[in-house]
Amino acid sequence: MGKKKYLVLGILFILPLVAYLFFASGVHNFAKLPVLNQNVKSVQSFSGLSNDEEIKLQDKITILGFLGEDIYNKQGNAFNLNQKIYKKNHEFRDFQFVMVLPYGSEEAAKELLKELGAITDVSEWKFLFGTTEQIQSFFNSLQTPYTLDNRMATNYVFIIDKDGNLRGRDGSIDDKKIYGYDASSVADITNVMEDDVKVILAEYRLALKKYKADRKN
Q: Is the pLDDT of residue 27 over 50?
A: no
Q: How far apart are CA 155 and CA 184, in angstroms?
A: 6
Q: What is the dihedral of CA 60, 64, 67, 73, to 10 degrees?
A: -110
Q: Is the pLDDT of residue 24 over 50?
A: no
pLDDT band at residue 23 using 50, 70 and 90 as cut-offs:
very low
Q: Which CATH architecture has domain 30-216?
A: 3-Layer(aba) Sandwich (3.40)
Q: What is the pLDDT of residue 52?
A: 83
CB 85 within 8 A of CB 192: no
Q: Give whichever of 3-12, 134-143, 208-217 has the largest mean pLDDT.
A: 134-143
Best CA proximity match to 145, nearest among 130, 164, 132, 158: 158
φ, ψ dihedrals at 166, nearest 5°:
-80, 125
Cα three-residue angle 146-150-151, rounded to 5 degrees: 100
Amino acid at 16: P
Give the 3-state secondary structure of residue 174: coil
Half-sphere exposure at residue 163, Cβ-oriented, CA atoms within 13 angstroms: 10
Q: State pLDDT tens for residues 43-64.
A: 999 999 988 888 999 999 999 9
* Residues with Cβ within 8 Å of residue 131, at least 6 apart in sequence: 102, 103
pLDDT band at residue 18 using 50, 70 and 90 as cut-offs:
very low
